[in-house]
Amino acid sequence: MEGSAAPFVGGLLTGLREGVEAALIIGILAGYLVKIGRADRLVSVWVGVAAAVFLSLIAAILIYAAAGGLTGPAELLFEAIATLAAAVVVTWMLFWMRRQATTLGGELRKGIDAAITNAPVTGIALLAFTAVIREGLETAIFLIGQAAAVGQAGGATAVLAGAVVGLALAIAIGISIFRLGARLNLGRFFTWTGSALIVIAAGLLAHGVHELIEIGMLPALMNPVYDLSAYLPDDAGVGLFARAVFGYRAAPELLTLLAQATYLVLGLIFYVRPTRAAAQANSDRVAPAATS
């Protein structure tokens, strides 16, 4: 149970964050259609959302199944690519969402207007599909990277279970915002969950670098820098939890430490500092905009 707790937490954070973002997008689309008297087109939104979710699941299953038959260096290379890709994707997703937060609603409304004019049914479904598929594919890639980094039996299942719980919580949050009129401080929510995902992404980056060192594609520089295996091993107990969530290693290489520390410091500085004031100013405007 203890060994599966960390992957579960990582999956939960991913599912919660991505799920709330998707809920905001869907809420903006649905709310605007109701506002302009085109509630009859809501079915098109749900069709687009369902198609995006389905294709995201298929993509994740195919990628994970293809990796299941790999062994030796090929398996290590896949883990390195999966974790590095996950770190890149989550970084891009977090900073994109922060930049687009104040204009996303207006852009989606313009897209609906154009879709109704040019292709009333398929246009709206395609708009919903396009908006959600990005979130779905990003989530799939990030979860695959987390599962690859766990490196233990049952780890992938724990990541998936956490993601399902996170998505369920996101759905509940979405309903409370768009149906019950609750006012969640979205700016603060995204700041905290985004910061947590940056910490997880730093661990994924470290794992990817470690795997590339293992197969000889990168130099270790110094190996190990220190060895805490006798005091805090990374394959059991607290050390295993820290490895799954934070990328902790009991005997890390110097290059791995440098990559993780550099990403973590720069990621948190650039993610939190430039947007803190904007998040505080705009947090109360996002929820009403989504229901307007």
**DSSP symbols for 198-219:** HHHHHHHHHHHHHHHHHTTSS-
Q: Give me the pLDDT at residue 266, please.
A: 92
Domain ranges of the chain: 2-291
pLDDT of residue 290: 41
Does residue 1 carry a pLDDT above 50? no
Q: What is the mean pLDDT of the segment spanning 66-90?
A: 81
Q: What predicted TM-score, i.e. pTM, was given to this entire model?
A: 0.71
Q: Which of 25-39, 93-107, 131-145 has the lowest mean pLDDT?
A: 93-107
Q: Which two tokens stand for residue 290?
A: 């989504």
More confident residue, 123 or 265: 265
Share of the chain above pLDDT 90, in %: 12
User: Could you tell me which of 142, 134, 257 has the C-alpha nearest to residue 198?
Assistant: 142
Per-residue pLDDT at 124 exceeds 90: no
Average pLDDT over residues 217-221: 92
Kindly compute the dihedral angle of the four CA atoms of residues 99, 206, 230, 214, in this order, to the nearest 10 degrees. Answer: 170
What is the spatial distance between Cα 287 and Cα 292, in angstroms, rounded to a whole number? 9
